[in-house]
Amino acid sequence: MHPEIIETVRRALAEDIGTGDITTELTIDAGRKAVGRFYARQEMVCAGTELLPVIFERADKLEIFLPTRAHCEYGDCIAQVEGDARLLLTHERVALNFLQRLSGIATLAKKYVDAVHGTKAKVLDTRKTTPGLRRLEKMAAHAGGVTNHRMGLFDAVLIKNNHITACGGVRQAMERVRDAKVPVEIEVRTIEELDEALEMGAKRMLLDNLTPEQAREWIARIAGRAVVELSGGITLETIRAYAEAGPDFISCGAITHSATAVDLNFRIQLQ
């Protein structure tokens, strides 16, 4: 597991527990053993179960019945953990927070992927993630079938409209990235910019805030000379129309910034 993820989990535990779980310490005898089970309370795509061994690393036993990417029905038992009752209670909320948030993203991602089924379009996530949780949230999006876009500003060039404005135009921007050693994509806002980007050898183009009809026209104009990504306010209700316009990719920030946490619970039994 990536060290960044382990550190994120440990920070979450430290944030919640602080100097100690005073409620559990006052109400539960030291040394009591228990078993706890995580249950799905809705249909969902599971994500985040790979974090449980880190969250419950001092537990006696952990069993994961429905791993990340698994489809869950209401009432399904996702995982079971056995060990010190105080440990289980103290780590319960952090485990639920991660599972609920990440499974919510995976569940919404699957809906977007299903909506474009039968077209050539692949759904991309974006950088519109919770600060500090990007790697986890992108893992969750991937669990739902989404293709991960760039991780950050460091692993690909994406020339957006503000870059073009600040640089003085499409031509100037493309000239500056000619020797980039990473993938290069450019956003175009007008037909003139589109033509200029193609003349400059653009191999990947981002078409933003078009209607499906406009997207179809622009994609026809590109005629396979560049890979095409569509973005800009595309919803679960409209993504099919955009996919049928013929893009290679559709990016949807809502998958991470607007996913609703799923309903899970944790039930404990003393042994």
In the predicted model, what is the mean pLDDT of residues 179-198?
96
Q: Look at residue 270 and tell me whether its pLDDT is greater than 90.
A: yes
Tell me the per-residue pLDDT of 51-98, one tens digit each, with 9 for 90 and over.
Answer: 999 999 999 999 999 999 999 999 999 999 999 999 999 999 999 999
Active-site residue flag, 181: no
Q: Look at residue 271 and tell me whether its pLDDT is greater than 90.
A: no
Q: What is the pTM of this model?
A: 0.96
pLDDT band at 12 (very low <50, low <70, confident <90, very high): very high
Catalytic residue among 160, 171, 216, 240: 160
Tell me the per-residue pLDDT of 142-153, one tens digit each, with 9 for 90 and over.
Answer: 999 999 999 999
pLDDT of res. 1: 86
Q: Look at residue 231 and tell me whether its pLDDT is greater than 90.
A: yes
Q: Which residues pair with 238 in a beta bridge?
A: none
Active-site residue flag, 208: yes
Tell me the per-residue pLDDT of 91-119, one tens digit each, with 9 for 90 and over.
Answer: 999 999 999 999 999 999 999 999 999 99
Active-site residue flag, 32: no
Q: Which residues pair with 264 in a beta bridge?
A: 40
Active-site residue flag, 114: no
Active-site residue flag, 37: no
**Domains of the chain, with CATH numbers?**
3-107+259-270 (3.90.1170.20), 113-257 (3.20.20.70)
Catalytic residue among 128, 171, 216, 240: 128
Q: Look at residue 16 and tell me whether its pLDDT is greater than 90.
A: yes
pLDDT of res. 198: 97
